[in-house]
Amino acid sequence: MRSTGPVSRIGRSLVAVTTTAAAGAVTVLSLGVSPAAAAPADVAAPRPGDSCTAADLGTRHPYIKTTEVSPTITHFKGWYVTEGTTGQQTVSTDTTTVIAVSVGLNDSIETSFAVEALSNVKATVGLDVKLEYTSTSKESNSVTWNLTQPGYYGFYKGTKKVTGTYGSLNCNRTQQGDGSWALEWTEGPGGGGFTTFTTLEEGAVRCQDGVPADSIMARAQALLDCGSAAAKADHPAGAATQTAQQKQDRPAPHPAPTSGTSTEQPRATGHSARAALDCSAEAYKIAVPGKPLSWGAPLLADDGVRLRPSTIFSAHLDNWRLCNVTERDGVIEASLWNWGNGGCATIAEQNAATERAVLMTVPCAEDDLQRFYIYRDVPGSSKIGVQNKYTGSMMGYDRYADGEFIRQYSSGRQDGTGTFDLTGV
């Protein structure tokens, strides 16, 4: 794949400013010539339309779009108490509903993006919800309660189930009404749903007890089916036969985690023969702003993309071309083809859900793991942020050092080390 093929119209449109020097030419990916400063971002909880800075180009944040809180019974057992059998009772309840914490398709909650999303849920609904993976099925089903009156009781455990949807915010340039440009938090590709819950509440309730409407206790009382003949009849002390209503919410098998990280991920296609790419004629360096190190592709297949100095001995391993370029809502999507080894940048499929997975190069294919979104600074600046399409994670590095790997981070690097310079060579 040494030939780049014809240059697409969109690929040609990426280059707007060319500066010629005696030693060489540098082409900047930009659509204008006047840089503009952006106001500081509210890093705690950005909202769509808030301003951001160039340091935020390599980061992303979740924001909560909708929430729903519903009292839910997770464990229940109907129990008859007769004269002479009152006092402290310990009852083993049946599991009625299983609630598992999840963000998107993956319930591991191991990434900073997922934790931040659940923290935003906590702030939005004002409840102390679970911020890590757990499930109500992991709770003991035993309920101990002191009963002072005979009657038909429901022993229960329950919680407030919190569900909703989230969006993904990225920093990107936006043209203002007066024609100027500014950096703003905009809703980027992706989003999904979440589920979490509050601490479990337990107790015992009778049909004749007055309870707050739409409370966990009221949900448990409804399961008693108090209007039925069975509830009103005399019974010996002990467990009651489950009613149809009590059985209707039996838990379904919990789905296995997917290889991706959230519902924002398109399904990756299988690897095939090297794809025929429509690449731009220009080659670019993806460099650390103001410093000599840039992305360098590996010579060995099992190595990763690292920060390397650009020298006459780099053998084009530091040169990248943008291929199959599209643009939507100001965000470029492209494959990153390396001139030196002929491979495309990717996150290995088996590491797609892994925080800090290393960026690799492989033979080019039609695969969303090889597609990247590029977020740009205002025209006149070459600063960008890079996001993998399939995983949703941003590219960055742990520290500035020769040989340091380029890795994926679900929320990006909040210290600005996910912002790079895309400059033509």
Residues 333-381: tens digit of each pLDDT: 999 999 999 999 999 999 998 999 999 999 999 999 999 999 999 999 9
DSSP letter string, 390-424: TT-PEEE-SS--TTPBPEEETTB-TTTTTEEEEEE
pLDDT beyond 80 at 69: yes
> How does residue 244 score in pLDDT terms, banded at 50, 70 and 90?
low
Pairing mode, if any, of strands 383-388 and 201-206? unpaired
Residues 49 and 420: their CA atoms lie apart, in Å, by 23
pLDDT score, position 146: 94
pLDDT beyond 90 at 280: yes
Backbone angles phi, psi at 28, to 5 degrees: -105, 130
Sequence-ordered list of residues with C-beta below 8 angstroms from that of 20, at least 6 positions apart, any chain: none
Sequence-ordered list of residues with C-beta below 8 angstroms from that of 319, at least 6 positions apart, any chain: 283, 284, 285, 338, 339, 340, 425
Q: Let me know: does 411 contact 61? Beta carbons within 8 Å.
A: yes
Handedness of CA 30, 32, 33, 34 (dihedral sign): negative
Sequence-ordered list of residues with C-beta below 8 angstroms from that of 179, at least 6 positions apart, any chain: none
> How does residue 120 score in pLDDT terms, banded at 50, 70 and 90?
very high
Mean pLDDT value of segment 251-278? 45
Range scoring the smallest mean pLDDT among 5-9, 120-124, 140-144, 229-233: 5-9
pLDDT beyond 60 at 395: yes
Mean pLDDT value of segment 199-206? 96
Name the CA radius of gyration of the chain, rounded: 28
Sequence-ordered list of residues with C-beta below 8 angstroms from that of 160, at least 6 positions apart, any chain: 69, 70, 71, 72, 127, 197, 198, 216
> How does residue 225 score in pLDDT terms, banded at 50, 70 and 90?
confident
Handedness of CA 282, 288, 289, 292 (dihedral sign): negative
Q: Let me know: does 182 contact 149? Beta carbons within 8 Å.
A: no
Backbone angles phi, psi at 104, to 5 degrees: 70, -145
> What length does the chain have?
425
> How does residue 233 score in pLDDT terms, banded at 50, 70 and 90?
low
Q: What is the pLDDT of residues 291-305, one digit of tens each?
A: 999 999 999 989 999
Range scoring the smallest mean pLDDT among 49-53, 183-187, 225-229, 286-290: 225-229
160: which strand partners? 71
Mean pLDDT value of segment 124-151? 94
Mean pLDDT value of segment 150-172? 96
